[in-house]
Amino acid sequence: MIRAFLAIDLPESLKPGLALYQQELKRSGADVRWVAPGNIHLTLKFFGNVPLADVETLAQAAGEVAAAQAPFQLKVTGAGAFPNLNAPRVVWLGLEGDLVPLARFYRQLEKAFETLGHPPEGRPFHPHLTLGRVKSPQGRHGLTKALKELPPPNWPAFQVREIILYRSTLSPQGSTYTPLKVIPLGG
């Protein structure tokens, strides 16, 4: 069994900016487990533990949906938190751009995976980039203040031309993501 997920990776050019954004938020002193900037991505589907033999089937299903999806553009926007800024549990950066095609693509992927026994996500799709997960209430006030005051990044939009099926390996040092299959968009 392996832990697997499907995601949109970010251009390397955005990763230094993500690290700087996290540095600003770290000044709050909040107790947050920060995601390594190189691991920040837009999750399309988290499969959890799947047999290694299922990887090819999942990649094939994703490939069929992706073949009909034209490339689209996204742009990183301001910071936020789930469930909300005053009670942050997950700290994120939002996305804007071609959100309608992205949402349609997401729903088509969910349908394809449901036929393979992977039920759809129980909550609405809210495209975001997870920066960190709050571990305790320590420093929460400062984090809320920092999130409200941090200006949105002024980074260029990026083109999404592929999705990636990843293996996630957990360790005390954090997660390691290994690409299993790069799936090009068609359209």
Which residues are known to be catalytic?
41, 128
Residue 29 falls in which region: left (phi positive, over 0), alpha (psi -120 to 50) or beta: left
Strand order of the sheet with strand 128-134? 32-34, 128-134, 90-97, 72-82, 158-160
51 vs 102: CA distance, rounded Å: 28
140 vs 28: CA distance, rounded Å: 8
Strand order of the sheet with strand 2-9? 41-50, 2-9, 162-169, 176-184
120 vs 45: CA distance, rounded Å: 9
